[in-house]
A and B are shown apart, each in its own frame.
Chain A
Amino acid sequence: MAQTKLMLELERQGVSRRDFMGFCASMAAVLGLPKTAAATIATAVETEARPVLVWLEFQDCAGNTESFLRASHPTVADLVLDTISLNYHETLMAAAGSQAEDALEETVRKYKGKYIALVEGSIPGDPDSGYCTIGGRAALDIAREVCGSAMATIAVGTCATFGGIPAARPNPTRALSVADAVPGLKNLIHMSACPANAENITALIVYYLTLKQWPPLDRYRRPLFAYGKSIHDGCERRAHFDAGQYVEAWGDEAHRHGHCLYKMGCKGPATSQNCPNVGWNEHTNWPIGCGHPCIGCAEPNFWDVMTPFYQRLPNVAGFNTDKWLDTVGIGLTAAVAAGTIAHGVGEVMRHRRGPAAEEPAGADKNAGGQAGVKK
């Protein structure tokens, strides 16, 4: 294979071809692609011109930014960031004040319709409220302009995706998701979770570079490769759920031996994300792995519908409901839980074989977990 510019550069940085292929293979794994896809990814990443990205922060905590900084396979991920031209990111950029704003303006003008906008944080619905201004401009005005001129918009984290914590009851600032603040955006993709997992953010970008299309999405506009299966279905403790072995108190024998956290309030049955498969911080661990229940952070309005966090979900299939139902008091409807569980194993692979939609649909909210997939 001819030495591409990228490979020369990789070598200059002490990254071997083998390491690079390792990275591409791990990306393929996150995306749920067959092993042979690694070569395709490598070719795409090597040959593609660097796409321009801008990362906007509104009513945020920078948790998604920090998560992005934890992207694993560091040396090559670092390079992939190099491969992308990140033209605006308040937390990371060297320029400040008017010079920072100039960088954003210039990018929007020069790359109109060609850049990718990433948004972190919710947006106050009233631009005159003063609840979020940057450079004296209201967040809503900035979002309209920057997302409105983008080739695609990626809402990163649950605040940008669903409104998140600022929009939790009673939503003091009338905070909105990107979709609600700027209706009608084309190519809007949701990477929910609090924060979004770095592996999934990186995988989404590589997906686009590799396949020149955006991935099929579920009914909440989330890529199926990361949100196509419930936590419960992929959980390493699932066998204990099926066997009726539950943690009853923090630190009890069942807890120490990794039994099911369902009775401690685990929201895994009602939550779709690939945490059990990709883990966090370079596969080091994940919340259930450290003994705490899932809090459902990838789901719409989870701060309201998944709380109290330590109360059991009602009516989860397979649980001995008649024994416990009398003590269940959570406000979540059984339909939500059951509906999400219906996302079965194998869906991801089934969808992947079909050609992905030109424009990520996800618009058909009645289509369950299959929006945007054309066969």
Chain B
Amino acid sequence: MTHVVVDPVTRIEGHLRIEAEVDGGAVKEAWSSCTMFRGIELILEGRDPRDAWAFAQRICGVCTTVHAIASIRAVEHAIGATPPPNARILRNLIIAAQNVQDHVIHFYHLQALDWVDIVSALSADPAKTSSLAQSISDWPLSSAKYYTEVRDRVKAFVERGQLGIFANAYWGHSAYRLPPEANLMAVAHYLEALDWQRRFIKIHAILGGKNPHLQSFLVGGMATPVDPDAQASLNLGTVAALRKLVAEGVDFVTRVYIPDVLAIASFYKDWFSIGAGVTNFLSYGDFPLDDGAQPQLYIPAGIIHNGDLSRIEPVDHAKIDEYITHSWYDYSVGDDKGLNPYKGETHPHYTGPRPPYQRLKVEEKYSWLKSPRYDGAPMQVGPLARMLVAYGVGRPTRAKELIDQALKQLNAPPAALFSTLGRIAARAIEAQVLVESMGMWVEALADGMARRDYRIQDTSKWDPSSWPQDCFGAGFHEAPRGSLGHWVHIKDGKIAKYQCVVPSTWNAGPRDAKGQPGPYEASLVGTPVAKPDQPLEILRTVHSFDPCMACGVHVVDATRRELARVRVS
């Protein structure tokens, strides 16, 4: 038995440590630990609820819109504000752009180097690379000349001897299986994606002033004025710019990202049966399509138990509890009890080893993440959960269509999606579904302009004197990495308590009171490890979740009443 420690897990957001027992060439047991805490929920107490989105937004600068969205929804729910159609449409565009851009960056810049050997790319034949690229896509940057240039650029970089961010990696590891030509194609697209993400995210600059940390959110709506007859507003010039950026997004996802994922997956098909872990899935659903109190959601909500896609259950938020049995917190009710976010507590209390340390005390408490459970069960969240729920309910039809298409091409059954590679494929498919949907919202924005609908914010609820003296709210959102919920208690116009249960807490949390491991921990069991001192395969499975540890900070709430109505909007 070899004890493997991966700390820091790099190419993620935040600070994650994995410890694993490896025996007989595979992981027998694994522990996931978040090693950073800031306490932003505590910092929010006593503040103006209209400011909360900006604070919450700083939980994460990678998924830089998600906590702002969940926060304004929670406050709106509490005070009874209703965002007008323009605000709903702008938010849908911002959320979709965030998901698409994040998924592309994740694949190329955070995940790909687990599957792509840059050093091997140096021995690629550019002509053969060109043939390979042209056989999977009609993307124009695919000539032998182009690939010669890319190869020579990488070669020159390597020969200079300063490898920078590419130094000390696992190049040449036996688990790398792509031919040199596929490696070279992927390296070229790594560089292209770096350029693409900068351009595509201008959608956020147009709608939010800047990225990261967009600055156009408002409780009750958005701060970006809409007026086809004003230069300082979103107008038809903006619509034209958005159309162009969306079209470029569709192009890149369809002709580069999806073909690359399918091509790389075809060399690693055994990873469709590795890394399933927890097969309960949760999606809160998102992208409201109308302005009612219970809007239809473009990406549907639902619960899947034990991988049974034939039965999608509705989500009941009252069934969410968090455990701290193995987390560095204390509960007044005892550390073996779970608490619903509305009754949650956060008393940070570090009892881990004194730094510097070699090993965590995994039999005791070992993470800053709590362990959220749904009806007592661990749940996996993220693009795979959303795409499986969509597949199960049959909507949006485009999701089902693309999933079936991918499975057919890879000659794999739907159950193959419960895997490390399944998470990667589902993320790509979701990017395509969402980038294609953006055009619909751009046109809806233009339609509003035609009607001279200038409303962007519910001005009737801006003044705190219009709010109930004591109110509670919850806001739900599907972030790139999965289901996100914020809970807020507002008293006398100030935040009394604030709590977040975030995607990476669902996925990366430690064991609970019953000893049930979280999705990271469960999915690592059985993951092969050829060389324990170079645990490349562990990175593959962990990265397939797209870890975002800064989001794992916690949380406080000590409210006394049940949520009367939880609105998913």
Chain A residues at the B interface, C-beta cutoff of 8 Å:
9, 12-14, 50, 52, 57-67, 69-72, 74-75, 78, 82, 84-87, 89-103, 127-138, 141, 164-166, 168-173, 175, 194-195, 249-251, 255-258, 280-282, 284-292, 295, 303, 307-310
Residue of B with least CB distance to A309: B51
For A96, the chain B residues whose CB sits under 8 A away are: 6, 8-11, 535, 539
Instruction: Tell whether, in the assembled complex, residue B149 and residue A12 are in contact, meaning their CB atoms are under 8 Å apart.
Output: yes
B: number of interface residues (CB 8 Å): 105
Asked if B177 lies at the interface with its beta carbon under 8 angstroms from chain A, I say: no
A307 to B50, CA, bound (A): 10
Q: How far is the CB of B228 from chain A (nearest CB, A)?
A: 10
Instruction: Tell whether, in the assembled complex, residue B113 and residue A94 are in contact, meaning their CB atoms are under 8 Å apart.
Output: yes
Given known A-B contacts A94-B165, A134-B35, A170 and B42 have beta carbons under 8 A apart: yes
Q: For the complex, would chain B's binding face be called helix, strand, loop or mixed by DSSP majority?
A: loop
A256 to B456, CA, bound (A): 10
B1-36, CB < 8 A from A: 5-15, 17, 35-36
Q: How far is the CB of A139 from chain B (nearest CB, A)?
A: 8
For A286, the chain B residues whose CB sits under 8 A away are: 209-210
A280 to B209, CA, bound (A): 7
Would you list 11 pairs from A and B whose C-beta atoms are within 8 A, ordered by A residue?
A13-B153, A65-B61, A91-B12, A91-B110, A93-B11, A95-B168, A130-B355, A195-B61, A282-B202, A292-B215, A308-B50
A127 to B459, CA, bound (A): 47
Q: How far is the CB of B27 from chain A (nearest CB, A)?
A: 14
Asked if B503 lies at the interface with its beta carbon under 8 angstroms from chain A, I say: no
Q: How far is the CB of A231 from chain B (nearest CB, A)?
A: 12
For A62, the chain B residues whose CB sits under 8 A away are: 13-14, 60-62, 550
A136 to B16, CA, bound (A): 11
Q: How far is the CB of B10 from chain A (nearest CB, A)?
A: 4
Instruction: Tell whether, in the assembled complex, residue B43 and residue A172 are in contact, meaning their CB atoms are under 8 Å apart.
Output: yes
For B47, the chain A residues whose CB sits under 8 A away are: 307-308
Beta-carbon contacts of B226-267 to A below 8 Å, as 1s and 0s? 110011110000000000000000000000000000000000
Asked if B492 lies at the interface with its beta carbon under 8 angstroms from chain A, I say: no
Give the contacting residue for A70; candidates B8, B40, B201, B350; CB below 8 A. Answer: B201
Instruction: Tell whether, in the assembled complex, residue B206 and residue A194 are in contact, meaning their CB atoms are under 8 Å apart.
Output: no
Instruction: Tell whether, in the assembled complex, residue B168 and residue A290 are in contact, meaning their CB atoms are under 8 Å apart.
Output: no
Most chain A beta-carbon contacts within 10 A, residue among B58, B109, B354: B58
A219 to B167, CA, bound (A): 38
Q: How far is the CB of A91 from chain B (nearest CB, A)?
A: 7
Given known A-B contacts A97-B8, A290-B216, A307 and B61 have beta carbons under 8 A apart: no
Residue of B with least CB distance to A59: B38
Q: Other than the known A69-B198, A99-B170, what 4 A-B pairs have Cβ atoms closer than 8 Å?
A: A92-B109, A97-B9, A101-B8, A133-B15
Given known A-B contacts A62-B60, A63-B213, A307-B51, A165 and B350 have beta carbons under 8 A apart: no
For B62, the chain A residues whose CB sits under 8 A away are: 61-63, 66
Given known A-B contacts A62-B13, A165-B58, A134 and B8 have beta carbons under 8 A apart: yes
Asked if B221 lies at the interface with its beta carbon under 8 angstroms from chain A, I say: yes
A332 to B17, CA, bound (A): 41
Given known A-B contacts A14-B149, A60-B550, A78-B191, A94 and B454 have beta carbons under 8 A apart: no
Instruction: Tell whether, in the assembled complex, residue B209 and residue A288 are in contact, meaning their CB atoms are under 8 Å apart.
Output: yes
Instruction: Tell whether, in the assembled complex, residue A255 and residue B225 are in contact, meaning their CB atoms are under 8 Å apart.
Output: yes
Given known A-B contacts A12-B149, A97-B535, A281-B198, A175 and B38 have beta carbons under 8 A apart: yes
For A303, the chain B residues whose CB sits under 8 A away are: 43, 55
For A99, the chain B residues whose CB sits under 8 A away are: 168-170, 534
Given known A-B contacts A95-B167, A136-B356, A307-B51, A250 and B221 have beta carbons under 8 A apart: yes
A138 to B353, CA, bound (A): 11
Chain B residues at the A interface, C-beta cutoff of 8 Å:
5-15, 17, 35-40, 42-43, 46-48, 50-51, 54-55, 58-62, 64, 105, 109-110, 113, 118, 149, 152-153, 156-157, 162, 164-170, 191, 194-195, 197-199, 201-202, 204-213, 215-218, 220-221, 223-227, 230-233, 328, 348, 350, 352-358, 454-457, 459, 462, 533-535, 539, 550
Give the contacting residue for A85; candidates B55, B162, B227; CB below 8 A. Answer: B162
A63 to B534, CA, bound (A): 29
A134 to B61, CA, bound (A): 19
Instruction: Tell whether, in the assembled complex, residue A251 and residue B225 are in contact, meaning their CB atoms are under 8 Å apart.
Output: yes
Instruction: Tell whether, in the assembled complex, residue A69 and residue B197 are in contact, meaning their CB atoms are under 8 Å apart.
Output: yes
Residue of B with least CB distance to A132: B36
Instruction: Tell whether, in the assembled complex, residue B64 and residue A284 are in contact, meaning their CB atoms are under 8 Å apart.
Output: no
Instruction: Tell whether, in the assembled complex, residue B7 and residue A136 are in contact, meaning their CB atoms are under 8 Å apart.
Output: yes
For A94, the chain B residues whose CB sits under 8 A away are: 10-11, 113, 118, 165-170
For B533, the chain A residues whose CB sits under 8 A away are: 98
For A256, the chain B residues whose CB sits under 8 A away are: 225-227, 230, 232-233, 454
Instruction: Tell whether, in the assembled complex, residue A281 and residue B164 are in contact, meaning their CB atoms are under 8 Å apart.
Output: no
A7 to B152, CA, bound (A): 15
Complex A-B, nearest 10 residue pairs according to Cβ-Cβ distance, in ascending order: A63-B61, A258-B232, A172-B39, A280-B210, A94-B169, A130-B350, A281-B205, A290-B209, A287-B209, A284-B205
Given known A-B contacts A97-B7, A292-B216, A282 and B198 have beta carbons under 8 A apart: yes
Give the contacting residue for B37; candidates A13, A128, A132, A137; CB below 8 A. Answer: A132
Q: How far is the CB of B517 from chain A (nearest CB, A)?
A: 21
Q: How far is the CB of A155 from chain B (nearest CB, A)?
A: 16
For B60, the chain A residues whose CB sits under 8 A away are: 61-63
Residue of B with least CB distance to A280: B210
A33 to B210, CA, bound (A): 25
For B38, the chain A residues whose CB sits under 8 A away are: 59, 131, 165-166, 172-173, 175
For A138, the chain B residues whose CB sits under 8 A away are: 355-356
Instruction: Tell whether, in the assembled complex, residue B37 and residue A251 are in contact, meaning their CB atoms are under 8 Å apart.
Output: no
Instruction: Tell whether, in the assembled complex, residue B48 and residue A308 are in contact, meaning their CB atoms are under 8 Å apart.
Output: yes
A95 to B232, CA, bound (A): 46
Most chain B beta-carbon contacts within 10 A, residue among A12, A69, A133, A135: A133
For B220, the chain A residues whose CB sits under 8 A away are: 250
Q: How far is the CB of A301 from chain B (nearest CB, A)?
A: 12
For B156, the chain A residues whose CB sits under 8 A away are: 9, 12
For A92, the chain B residues whose CB sits under 8 A away are: 10-11, 109, 165
Instruction: Tell whether, in the assembled complex, residue A89 and residue B165 are in contact, meaning their CB atoms are under 8 Å apart.
Output: yes
For A171, the chain B residues whose CB sits under 8 A away are: 43
Q: How far is the CB of B362 from chain A (nearest CB, A)?
A: 14
Give the contacting residue for A284; candidates B164, B167, B206, B213; CB below 8 A. Answer: B206
Instruction: Tell whether, in the assembled complex, residue A281 and residue B202 are in contact, meaning their CB atoms are under 8 Å apart.
Output: yes
Most chain A beta-carbon contacts within 10 A, residue among B118, B169, B212: B212
A95 to B223, CA, bound (A): 42
For B46, the chain A residues whose CB sits under 8 A away are: 169
Instruction: Tell whether, in the assembled complex, residue B459 and residue A249 are in contact, meaning their CB atoms are under 8 Å apart.
Output: yes
Most chain A beta-carbon contacts within 10 A, residue among B15, B220, B233: B15
Instruction: Tell whether, in the assembled complex, residue B209 and residue A13 are in contact, meaning their CB atoms are under 8 Å apart.
Output: no
Instruction: Tell whether, in the assembled complex, residue B165 and residue A291 are in contact, meaning their CB atoms are under 8 Å apart.
Output: no
A140 to B329, CA, bound (A): 22
Q: How far is the CB of B28 from chain A (nearest CB, A)?
A: 19
A93 to B114, CA, bound (A): 12
Residue of A with least CB distance to B535: A97
For B358, the chain A residues whose CB sits under 8 A away are: 136
Q: How far is the CB of B458 from chain A (nearest CB, A)?
A: 9
Q: How far is the CB of B236 from chain A (nearest CB, A)?
A: 14
For A281, the chain B residues whose CB sits under 8 A away are: 198, 201-202, 204-205, 210-211
Instruction: Tell whether, in the assembled complex, residue B10 and residue A91 are in contact, meaning their CB atoms are under 8 Å apart.
Output: yes
For A169, the chain B residues whose CB sits under 8 A away are: 43, 46
Instruction: Tell whether, in the assembled complex, residue A309 and residue B225 are in contact, meaning their CB atoms are under 8 Å apart.
Output: no
Residue of A with least CB distance to B4: A97
Give the contacting residue for A130; candidates B110, B211, B328, B454; CB below 8 A. Answer: B328
Residue of B with least CB distance to A236: B232
Q: How far is the CB of B424 from chain A (nearest CB, A)?
A: 18
Instruction: Tell whether, in the assembled complex, residue A310 and residue B51 are in contact, meaning their CB atoms are under 8 Å apart.
Output: yes
Q: How far is the CB of A129 from chain B (nearest CB, A)?
A: 6
Instruction: Tell whether, in the assembled complex, residue A133 and residue B206 are in contact, meaning their CB atoms are under 8 Å apart.
Output: no
A75 to B368, CA, bound (A): 40
A224 to B450, CA, bound (A): 46
Q: How far is the CB of B497 from chain A (nearest CB, A)?
A: 14
A194 to B7, CA, bound (A): 27
Residue of B with least CB distance to A131: B37
